[in-house]
Amino acid sequence: MYKYFEGVTSSATTLNFSALQWGDAEALALAKVLPRYACVAELDLSKNRIASDGMKAIADAVNVIPSLTFIDVSGSFIDDKSMNTVGNAVLSSSVSKLGAFKCDAFH
């Protein structure tokens, strides 16, 4: 099973976790394993209940994934502080190539 997990994490380009009713606890758990997804380009966390603590953890993980170019958190509980956290993390990162961050504030 470990070899299968390693194979999936090393080759997945899209992660869709939309509408799973995830909150900060699930986002924190995802953030711990997200750096293993070395090829992921798109991360869909839309329509969940992720708030400030979860987005901070995701923002920290984004900094070490150079392939990630798109995150969707629309329909979630993202506040201005969380958006600033992600924005600052991306801007200060030397590896991040995040080009699109979709959330309700940017509609």
CA distance 80 to 82: 5
CA distance 67 to 98: 8
And the tokens for 18? 């939309």
Give alpha helix (H) positions in 1-107: 2-11, 24-33, 52-62, 80-92
Q: For 53-66, write each residue's pLDDT tens digit.
A: 898 898 888 878 88
pLDDT at 5: 66
pTM (2 d.p.): 0.83
Least confident of 6-20, 22-36, 90-104: 90-104
